[in-house]
Amino acid sequence: MDDQDDPLGVVIGAREIYDEVVGLRGDVQRLGQDGENVTETLADHETRIRGLESERAKYVLPVALVGAVATVVAAGLAVAKLAA
């Protein structure tokens, strides 16, 4: 009995294998392009986050200075109240 005559057997020819390899090649190319897009998006996000951090840093020193002055004023008032 030949393999071709077996009703339960599966025969995969060279054409089917070739078609699958070509399909996989396309999938790999699309994944490569997706990877490039992800890299570009990541770089864009990093740039935007650094911009936001630098904007926030402009306000840290003035806010800290106002807090320090308020603390000194409150301490002076407390000392003045105790002295009176």
Local confidence band at 15 (pLDDT 50, 70, 90 cut-offs):
very high
pLDDT per residue as tens digits for the range 17-72: 999 999 999 999 999 888 888 888 898 999 999 888 888 778 888 889 999 999 99
Instruction: Give the separation between CA 34 and CA 23, rounded to whole angstroms.
Output: 17
Number of domains in the chain: 1
For the beta carbon of residue 66, count every other beta carbon within 10 angstroms: 10
Write down the pLDDT at residue 3. 55
Residue 67: C-alpha distances to residues 8, 53, 64 (Å): 83, 21, 5
Domain that residue 34 falls in: 3-83
Write down the pLDDT at residue 60. 84
Write down the pLDDT at residue 5. 64
Local confidence band at 82 (pLDDT 50, 70, 90 cut-offs):
confident
pLDDT at 2 over 80: no
